[in-house]
Amino acid sequence: MFKRLGKSVLQNNVFKQTSLKLNAPIQTNVLFIQNRNSSTGRGSQVAMLLTGAGHLDGSDITETVSAMIKLSQGNFTPVFFAPDGDAEEIINHMNKTVESNEIRNMMNEVSRVTRTKTLSLKFLREKNFEGLIIPGGGGVGKILSNLDEEGPEKFKVDEEVSQIIKSFHDAEKPIGVMGNAVYLVANVLGKQNNGPGLTLAASNEADIVKHLTDLGNKTVTRKAHEPYSDKDNSIISVPSTLYRNPSPIEIFFGAKDLITDMLSLNKGNVKDTVNWEFTQWYFLKVREFAKEDWEFIKKEVVQEIEEEKEKKASSSDSNTFELN
């Protein structure tokens, strides 16, 4: 990746909690199992590619959560992926400055938003999913590509991300891109890079239109909440946060309609049952993840309890005295 350090140097990054019951059962994500018995008969997985938690340095949270809500409403299970490493640049979202001493693992950051296990990008395989969704955000230009650093002229998409996009396109499975994530598919599948060329939703801002068309694509003017479906290439795009300063409700409706269009494009290919081979593997990963964290938390709690006992004993000793 571009703005990415090596594998995380942060280990077992969890909050200390002293009120936990040490014998409590491990909580795991059972969403897959629940979906199997749903009234719609669907529980198919859709991959979401994320980079963190924050519109300036990771994935836009409003776009991400909006997509999650719509997928859940349609009884599709989102499975979350992120690069396995630390983001090199963390932005203070209050004053827009770089936090020089901050190190955050991208997979951990994504789990803050999704409340479940985030998988490494290396496990993302097109065959396990009905579609791919990429929300926008600062991570598109800092982590998934070098757009922010090099600009449109020397713009390159990370090779791993490029191969993922190509695999879904080759399989004719829909890809939904929101906000500035449109630049990723425009680069990978644009005629300038020997792709078929796409027709993409864009605001009427001249620099955005020029960038997309210079990569060998066409644009259709749309507002923040209005997606466009390139049915020939199964690419659905929505301007979202690239359209001036949209409200949360505009972002939500854009995500909702984008996913509706995505799933309608893949209507004939959606499986009636989930991919149970992948589901079992994922479920074991979640349990492994939860068990590791639980063992660490128990150790921390026990240590804090012992430290508290020592403090009380020390305090008690210092307050005792003998009468002569």
Confidence of residue 2 (pLDDT cuts 50, 70, 90): low
Residue 7 has pLDDT above 50, yes or no: no
| Cα–Cα distance measured from residue 224 to residue 136, given in angstroms and rounded to the nearest whole number | 13
Q: Which of 28-42, 60-74, 155-169, 246-260 has the lowest mean pLDDT?
A: 28-42
Report yes or no: 241 and 180 within 8 Å, Cβ to Cβ. yes
3-class state of residue 235 by DSSP: strand
Greater confidence, 31 or 219?
219
CA dist 71 → 47, 90, 137 (Å): 11, 29, 20
> What DSSP designation does 51 have?
-
pLDDT one-digit tens code per residue, 95-138: 656 666 777 888 888 888 898 889 999 999 999 999 999 999 98
d(CA 149, CA 151): 6
Output the pLDDT for position 162: 96
Burial class (CB in 10 A: 0-12, 13-18, 19+), 248: exposed
Banded model confidence at residue 311, pLDDT cuts 50, 70, 90:
confident
170 phi and psi angles, rounded to 5 deg: -65, -30
Q: Please, what is the average pLDDT of the chain? A: 77
- Secondary structure (DSSP) of 140-171: HHHTSBSHHHH-GGG--B-HHHHHHHHHHHHT
145: its two tokens: 């590509």
Percent of all residues in the chain with a pLDDT value above 90, rounded to a whole number: 42
- Beta-carbon contacts of residue 108 (< 8 Å; ≥ 6 apart): 8, 10, 13, 118
Under 8 Å between Cβ of 89 and 57: yes
Structure tokens at 184: 């990723």
- Tokens 């409340």 — which residue? 115
In angstroms, the CA 180 to CA 195 distance is: 19
More confident residue, 219 or 271: 219
Q: What percentage of the chain reaches a pLDDT higher than 70?
A: 67
* C-alpha 202, offset from chain centre: 22
**What is the Cα–Cα distance from 171 to 261, expressed in whole angstroms?**
17
Distances (CA, A) of 151 to 38, 143, 156, 185: 46, 14, 9, 16
Does pLDDT of 182 surpass 80? Answer: yes
Q: Check pLDDT > 50 for residue 270.
A: no
Contact 188, 171 (CB under 8 A): no
195-226 core/surface letters (b: 16 or more CB in 10 A; e: else) = bebbbbbbbeeeebbebbbebbbebeebbbbb
Q: What is the distance between the alpha carbons of residues 168 and 178, in angstroms, rounded to a whole number?
A: 17
Query: What pLDDT digit, counting tens, does each position of 64-101 carry?
Result: 999 999 998 887 889 999 998 777 666 666 665 666 67
Two tokens, residue 81: 């992926």
**Fold category of 42-295 in CATH:** Rossmann fold (3.40.50)
Q: What is the pLDDT of residues 210-245, one digit of tens each?
A: 999 999 999 999 999 999 999 999 999 999 998 888
pTM of the model: 0.71
Other Cβ atoms closer than 10 A to 268 = 6
pLDDT value at position 290? 55
